Structure 1
């Protein structure tokens, strides 16, 4: 199976789905992609996609880096700049370590730990700051 470019909030990145068992993902992709198993994650092609899972192997969140070429409705993708986010969204808020836009839940751009809150994105970030990771989660 090949990865897709699809991003679905609260559900999936690249065809890897929250709730799926990590062993199924590994079996499906290991012949075509470089896989690294961590204690609570499976990383594909050096972070192209990373699936996070609990002890039982159930995927609870998924992230992708700027090498991933998919996007969500031409509004969100890994590798966006602050300028892109401001141009393509009406509202931005910090939520649980992520930039969430336009009240779309279950998808966000990862914030650096030291900047987990803001009133405006430009409070802490220059317009050319790049968000290197996008996450899909159901919490």
Structure 2
């Protein structure tokens, strides 16, 4: 695998996402999770520094929880100094699954737009509108 995927978030989301993904598809050595917690941004940077030389990847894909958030912005600026970096925002399980499962068969130029499209397609509204009566068919 030439692409390294780093999930970054505020407390809990990145590690939970990694755990959920690996529950579904098994251990993924190219997938990392780093979280900003109550220890602050300097500790977050120290955690990132441990990954700087880990898994010499051709590309680093950073997936963050929210646009312009501290975890994503900090990780992007940190890794932009040493490798080809791509920053995606709006972390969700379909996005991360698609990135992980397709990264060995698609070039980065196709991988990222395809993963984003696949993730967008999974957002659906399944709300049922009724007059308050229960349906036997449901």
Indicate whether the TM-score tops 0.5: no
- The structure richer in strand per residue is 1
Calculate the TM-score normalised by the size of structure 1. Answer: 0.26
Normalized against structure 2, the TM-score is what? 0.26
Task: Tell which structure's C-alpha radius of gyration is larger.
Answer: 2
